[in-house]
């Protein structure tokens, strides 16, 4: 795949503008500077109408009313355009006699503004429940796009009756993160909602940099917990991965239970976060990259890293042009995307070492006229976090380009380019078209939690009735989910689903992936549509190129549900070269009710078909020791 000349010219032009601005050839006045908005309240910057800042002096009832009104509006807004960020200034909220109880819906971020998670204490609960698609069909399989971070929950079950008093429920699936959260109290943190009607399925998820007590995994099919501590972990369904986690369960006996445990995380960097100091000044903390790390980053005080004053960020609003944002970055600003949906008819170019692009409230970039919405140059220390990128109705070559496909990477690995909670969507609210969602050509990149999704359901382009899936296959185009050509790329939490050819193709050397989850596409109309040019039946969910000599994966799953044509067959869930340095640990395939995967990896591991619905085929190690 190559970038079309028209798109390449756009990228080069933006890069040239950056150079001219830096050199003073173009006057800085050429950039349209953003007028300073009036503050929302004393000492609080104006971050737009969809950022709500709470302080401890507010009555609990008022906070609950505001937060839960947003949750009620978002409970079924899976394909909506509203985006929300609910921020809590340092202090204590709620009490034993009057606990704070709030719920979190779609496209909502709840975060504390302290320097430490202990600076914001919520005595009560912050919860996500199953979504009931019908009275007898309550599930968390589609409770996507929500975030909880940087605070302490003190939970004891008071303030709720019956089943709801038994846990803090966080029933979620993909594109959901829990970061920098401390949970105290006798009530467990449950990753499933067992209080609603069945079937109560869940398919998440991600926890990082958090200190939890008892965790009820329940019905969660897969989960990654990274650089955290847990008091206990109740069970596992298919694929539960722990990396650098104090108190993690042993992987002995795999696959019963199906735990994969790494003592330390090979490469990590925590996601940037907003915080307010004791003088009321606003900063964004940019954590440093770590190697071979374990436990929370804040165990011994402030998370290692650097503070960037909020004044050093361009505060973008929906409607701002991508040129304005690129020029602000070129002039030395960082970029903060306030909640909303941003049309991107051209590329936002991030070309300066150490630049930060941070989205609040699941801020979303949408490709327009086949654009590449975001281009990250091969410069050390660039961080992109909290951003969702949607394909548009015209085919984009790529949705996020990291490094150049035309030149050799600089390969800076001590301060890696980092993508944290960066999500991709092809279809859903509208028809989406892209050749590749995420392409990484730079060396030493860190991908810290991503969901790359070609939608299996949505509003437009998903015609109901007998031909619905066939129509989706022809109109909702996503050929490749993730393509990696760079060397020394690490991914912690790689979720990629439903692409029409390669879900993941890895061509670079020394790739490291901690936890991979995939569903093959639901909707190929015929076997011919799902057959490679060489006659191989289907495409694996995870492919490492034949010439790669060194690659490792810990904890991976490929699922099949060919609901459009249950006769369709895929030869292998995983395909890798037989080389001494290529090793896969704890991988599996599973049938969810339709279609067949003949083998787990390279012709071995057994068949996942409708005779074994929901029963995984595991391979503990490939190649076998």
559-590 b/e (C-beta count within 10 Å ≥ 16 → b):
bbbbebbeebbbbbbbbbeeeeebbbbbbbbb
Q: For 391-420, what is the mean pLDDT?
A: 87
Closest CA to 177 of 153, 200, 210, 152: 210
Give the 3-state secondary structure of 49-116.
CCEEEECCCCCHHHHHHHHHHHHHHHCCCCCCCCCEEEEECCEEECCCCCCEEEECCCCEEEEECCCC
pLDDT tens digit sequence for 586-624:
999 999 999 999 999 999 999 999 999 999 999 999 999
501 pLDDT band, cuts 50/70/90, is: very high
Burial 159-174 (b: 16+ CB within 10 A, else e): bbeeebeebbbbbbbb
Using DSSP, state whether 262 is helix, strand or coil.
strand
pLDDT band for position 163 (50/70/90)? Answer: very high
Q: Which two tokens stand for residue 596?
A: 């067949």
Reply yes or no: is the peptide bond before residue 475 cis, omega within 30 of 0.
Answer: no
- The secondary structure of residue 322, as a DSSP letter, is H
Taken as a whole, the chain contains a residue count of: 625
- Residue 462, pLDDT > 90, answer no
pLDDT at 405: 78
Residue 14 has pLDDT above 60, yes or no: no
Phi-psi region of 446 (alpha: psi -120 to 50; beta: other; left: phi over 0): beta
Looking at residue 408, its pLDDT comes to: 61
154 is catalytic: no
pLDDT in tens, 216-231: 999 999 999 999 999 9
199 upstream amide cis, omega within 30 of 0 = yes
Instruction: Report the pLDDT value the prediction gives residue 411, as an integer from 0 to 100.
Output: 58
pLDDT of residue 412: 55
d(CA 493, CA 491): 6
pLDDT at residue 26, as a whole number: 32
Summarised one tens digit per residue, pLDDT across range 531-575 is: 999 999 999 999 999 999 999 999 999 999 999 999 999 999 999
pTM here is: 0.93
- 157-171, 395-409, 440-454, range with the lowest pLDDT: 395-409
Output the pLDDT for position 404: 86
**Residues 594, 577: Cα–Cα separation, whole Å:** 28
pLDDT-derived band of residue 30, with 50, 70 and 90 as boundaries?
A: very low
| Rounded distance between C-alpha atoms, residue 420 and residue 283, angstroms | 18
Model confidence at 11, in pLDDT bands (50, 70, 90)? very low
Q: What is the pLDDT of residues 102-145, one digit of tens each?
A: 999 999 999 999 999 999 999 999 999 999 999 999 999 999 99
d(CA 40, CA 48): 9
Pair of tokens at residue 384: 């992109």
Residue 17 pLDDT level (bands cut at 50, 70, 90): very low
Question: How far is the C-alpha of 610 from the C-alpha of 527, rounded, in Å?
Answer: 17
Predicted confidence band of residue 24 (pLDDT cuts 50, 70, 90) = very low
How far is residue 82's CA from residue 532's CA, in Å, rounded to a whole number? 40
Confidence of residue 204 (pLDDT cuts 50, 70, 90): confident
Contact 419, 384 (CB under 8 A): yes
Q: Specify whether the CB–CB gap between 586 and 222 falls below 8 A.
A: no
- Please state, in angstroms and as integers, the Cα–Cα distance from residue 3 to each residue in 352, 401, 406, 505, 512, following that order: 21, 10, 9, 17, 26
The C-alpha atoms of residue 64 and residue 104 are separated, in whole angstroms, by 11
- Do 441 and 468 touch, CB atoms closer than 8 A? no
**Mean pLDDT of the region 480-504:** 98
Tokens of 334: 């960082």
Q: What is the rounded average pLDDT of the residues 434-438?
A: 98
| pLDDT of amino acid 229 | 98
Q: How far apart are CA 419 and CA 446, in angstroms?
A: 6
Closest residue by Cα to residue 445 from 408, 485, 406: 485
Which position among 154, 507, 519, 598 bears the catalytic label?
A: 519
Average of pLDDT values for 415-440?
97
The answer on pLDDT for 3 being more than 90 is: no
- The whole-angstrom separation of Cα 512 and Cα 416 is 14
At residue 159 the predicted structure's pLDDT band, cuts being 50, 70 and 90, is confident
């Amino acid at each position: 795949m190559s970038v079309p000349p028209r798109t390449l010219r756009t990228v080069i032009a933006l890069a040239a503008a950056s150079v001219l601005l830096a050199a003073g050839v173009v006057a800085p006045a050429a950039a349209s500077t953003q007028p300073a908005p009036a503050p929302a309240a004393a000492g609080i910057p104006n971050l737009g109408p969809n950022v709500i800042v709470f302080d401890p002096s507010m009555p609990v009832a008022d906070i609950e009313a505001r937060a839960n009104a947003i949750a009620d509006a978002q409970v079924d807004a899976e394909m909506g355009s509203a985006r929300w960020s609910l921020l809590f200034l340092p202090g204590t909220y709620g009490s034993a006699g009057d606990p704070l109880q709030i719920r979190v819906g779609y496209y909502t971020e709840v975060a504390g503004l302290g320097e430490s998670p202990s600076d914001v204490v919520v005595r009560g609960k912050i919860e996500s429940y199953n979504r009931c698609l019908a009275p007898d069909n309550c599930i968390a399989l589609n409770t996507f796009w929500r975030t909880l971070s940087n605070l302490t929950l003190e939970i004891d079950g008071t303030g709720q009756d019956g089943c709801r008093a038994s846990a803090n429920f966080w029933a979620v699936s993909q594109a959901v993160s829990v970061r920098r959260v401390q949970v105290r109290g006798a009530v467990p943190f449950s990753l499933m909602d067992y209080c609603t009607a069945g079937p109560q399925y869940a398919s998440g998820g991600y926890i990082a940099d958090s200190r939890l007590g008892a965790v009820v995994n329940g019905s969660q099919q897969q989960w990654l917990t990274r650089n955290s501590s847990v008091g206990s972990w109740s069970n596992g369904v298919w694929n539960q991965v722990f990396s650098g986690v104090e108190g993690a369960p042993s992987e002995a006996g795999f696959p019963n239970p199906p735990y994969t445990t790494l003592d330390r995380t090979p490469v990590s960097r925590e996601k940037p976060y907003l915080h307010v100091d004791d003088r009321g000044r606003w900063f964004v903390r940019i954590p440093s990259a770590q190697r071979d790390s374990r436990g929370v980053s804040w165990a011994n005080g402030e998370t290692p890293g650097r503070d960037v004053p909020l004044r050093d960020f361009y505060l973008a609003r929906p409607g701002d042009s991508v040129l304005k944002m690129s020029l602000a970055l070129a002039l030395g600003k960082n970029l903060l995307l306030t909640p909303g949906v941003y049309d991107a008819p051209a590329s936002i170019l991030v070309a300066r070492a150490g630049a930060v692009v941070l989205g609040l409230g699941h801020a979303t970039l949408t490709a327009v006229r086949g654009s590449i919405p975001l281009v990250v140059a091969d410069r050390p220390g660039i961080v992109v976090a909290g951003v969702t990128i949607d394909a548009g109705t015209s085919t984009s070559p790529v949705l996020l380009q990291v490094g150049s496909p035309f030149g050799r990477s600089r390969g800076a690995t001590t301060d890696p380019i980092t993508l944290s909670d960066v999500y991709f969507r092809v279809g859903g609210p509208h028809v989406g078209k892209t050749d590749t969602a995420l392409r990484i050509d730079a060396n030493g990149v860190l991908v810290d939690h991503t969901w790359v999704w070609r939608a299996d359901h949505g509003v437009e382009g998903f015609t109901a009735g007998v031909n619905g899936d066939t129509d989706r296959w022809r109109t909702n185009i996503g050929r490749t989910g993730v393509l990696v050509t760079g060397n020394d790329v690490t991914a912690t939490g790689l979720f990629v689903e439903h692409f029409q050819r390669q879900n993941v193709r890895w061509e670079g050397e020394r790739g490291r992936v901690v936890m991979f989850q995939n569903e093959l596409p639901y909707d190929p109309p015929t076997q011919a549509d799902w057959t490679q040019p060489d006659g191989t039946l289907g495409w694996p969910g995870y492919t490492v190129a034949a010439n790669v000599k060194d690659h490792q994966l810990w904890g991976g799953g490929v699922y099949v549900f060919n609901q459009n044509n249950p006769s369709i067959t895929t030869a292998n869930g995983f395909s890798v070269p037989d080389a001494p340095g290529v090793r896969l640990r704890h991988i599996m395939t599973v049938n969810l009710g339709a279609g067949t995967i003949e083998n787990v990896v390279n012709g071995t591991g057994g068949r996942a078909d409708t005779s074994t619905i929901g029963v995984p085929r595991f391979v503990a190690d490939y190649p076998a020791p």
